[in-house]
A and B are shown apart, each in its own frame.
Chain A
Amino acid sequence: MLGIGLRLLSVLLVICPILIAFQVNNWDLKRTLFEESGVKEIEDKLSGLNFENVTWTVVENEVEYNEAKHEVRIPIDVYSDLGFRIKILEVEFDISFDGQHTTLRMQENEVELVPKEKVRMHIVGTFYEDPRGKEIRVDTGRIVIEKLGVIIEVRPEE
């Protein structure tokens, strides 16, 4: 009798949780397997991770050019409409004007974007002519951001 009772107890300990889980969710398979609210919340958070939510504005009247070093320093105001903080680790643009090609790189080691706030960063590069007032064409670019240890590298199209 004891053996049968113990075997029955083992079976009940396996079956009961499954029955109770379905019972509390009115026998809805999807709701029993996982709570949709959590999945929806993750979708909302990740869908916000889009560069369209980041505005880059070149502050043209504050562009500096060092004739001795042939170096240009371009300030850029970055406004984040993302719902969370991210770090910009690298920014690189290959640009051309008047037949010259050069690469501009972010001057700061990293820049932290705070939601709904404007942050100033600078890109620097070597120009053999003062580029101010001239039409500059961005050929290719590379932006590296970091969020929670995940590094995302984007190469925006022309």
Chain B
Amino acid sequence: MKRRLNVNWFGISFGVLMLILPFAGYWWRAEVGNGAASLSISPFNFDVNVVGVQIQSTLVYYILLFTRISFLIAGIFAILGSLFADRWWAGKLIKFGVMKPFWSVITLIVVLVAGTFFVNMALPGIVFGIVKELPSQISLRVPFLSGTSESVITVEDTTVRTTMSVGFQTPFVLAIVTAALGILTRIYQRRFAKEEPPRHKKG
């Protein structure tokens, strides 16, 4: 008897994108001036560059490396689970990483909004506390998530003025598509939902 192939096509697409996403590039980038400093981030890459010098962190490097590995495993599991969507183990494999891109997108946005609030609202106060004996004026205006602005810092007789550009990069669109496919995969997989077969006791 020929067995009907039950495939979760959303899951296949999701799995393929999960294999591409870790190598697609940065999701968001901020640049101060014309290359004076820059920050490029994604859940898989992190680049901080100040006056042409890259700042590195072993901890961040390994965390991002393992996030990449985790996405690749989730992608493979999603493809396997989606190819055999009616098997009892398919749902478990798919569930392993189906929400990872969604939570990555949400986390990035929350971190960026919180970080921008900190730089715009709290940082000037902290700097005032450090240089309180000097006449200073700090006007930091980092745009929320995307845009360009000008910031001015005055300490004693010196005024530093620079533009700051921030914005999402093309791979972020891919991340949103992957996250949406992840949600669809999860919903569609309910059609094939099967219980784990009971284990037979030896006796």
Contacts and interface: CB of A to CB of B under 8 A. Distances in A.
Interface in B137-179: 157-163
Contacts of B93: 2, 6
Contacts of A17: 59, 62-63, 65-66
Contacts of A16: 62, 66
Contacts of A22: 59
Interface in A2-46: 2-3, 6, 9-10, 13-14, 16-18, 20-22, 24-25, 31-35, 38-39, 41-42, 45-46
A42 B96 CA distance: 42
B70 interface: yes
Given A17-B62, A35-B57, A148-B33, A6 B92 contact: yes
Choose among B32, B53, B95 the residue with the greatest number of A CB atoms under 10 Å from its CB.
Answer: B53
Interface in B20-64: 32-36, 50-59, 61-63
Nearest to B154: A153
A39 B92 contact: no
B55 A35 contact: yes
A46 B52 CA distance: 11
Contact of B96 (A6, A20, A45): A6
Given A31-B58, A39-B55, A150-B32, A21 B63 contact: yes
21 contacts: A6-B93, A9-B73, A10-B70, A16-B66, A20-B62, A21-B62, A22-B59, A24-B58, A32-B57, A34-B57, A35-B56, A39-B55, A42-B50, A42-B55, A45-B53, A148-B34, A150-B160, A150-B162, A153-B158, A154-B158, A157-B157
